[in-house]
Amino acid sequence: MIYDDIARTLVLSFKHGDRLDPAASYAQMMVRAGGKLVESADLIVPVPLHWTRLFKRRYNQSAILAQHIAVLANKTHLPDGLVRNKRTRPQGFMKRAERLRNVRNAFNVHPKHADAIRGKTVLVIDDVLTTGATVDNCAESLYKAGADTVNVLILARARLPGANTR
């Protein structure tokens, strides 16, 4: 989805409003849109929440999407493949440079999955892509752990400045 006013309402109700019922439909949309990325993935890994945010929210929307996608595509799901080791501030109203600083060194590959990730094609799942700071940091951590290829599949993306989205 393009992250417009309608998508924003849908995503935020899923992310913060305990509206988990559309997760399976969102995952189906993502599998269709992701096509070859999903097909080529050896592992599916969600962008993790810091444990304090997970405790407060009670669920990780990216992990729920990743689980559904893995089932639909018959792929291995590593819900804890990445760990958020730094509690970051919410990025909703940050500019790109602030987002990059905020998530710098925030993620690591979980040590128990280092061997599983080495040499593999990893598909990272997230809900919204704005600047790419979060997924860039996740990809960097996966590459440091030896992943061969890292791709990203998101539910919604912010409009690119000047982009025609028709």
pTM of the predicted protein model? 0.88
Q: What is the mean pLDDT of residues 85-104?
A: 72
The residue extents of the domains of the chain are 5-157
Residue 92 has a pLDDT of: 63
Q: Decide which of 106 and 66 is more confident.
A: 66
pLDDT per position as a tens digit, 30-61:
999 999 999 999 999 999 987 877 678 778 89
- Residue 14 phi, psi (nearest 5): -70, -45
Q: What is the mean pLDDT of residues 149-155?
A: 97
Q: Are 27 and 104 in contact (CB under 8 A)?
A: no
- What is the rounded average pLDDT for all residues in the chain? 88
Query: Closest by alpha carbon to 109, among 132, 133, 78, 88?
Result: 78
CATH number of 5-157: 3.40.50.2020
Q: What is the mean pLDDT of residues 151-155?
A: 97
pLDDT per position as a tens digit, 96-112:
677 777 778 889 999 99
Cβ-count burial 22-54 (b if 16+ within 10 Å, e if not): ebbebbeebbeebeebbeebbbbbbbbbeeeee
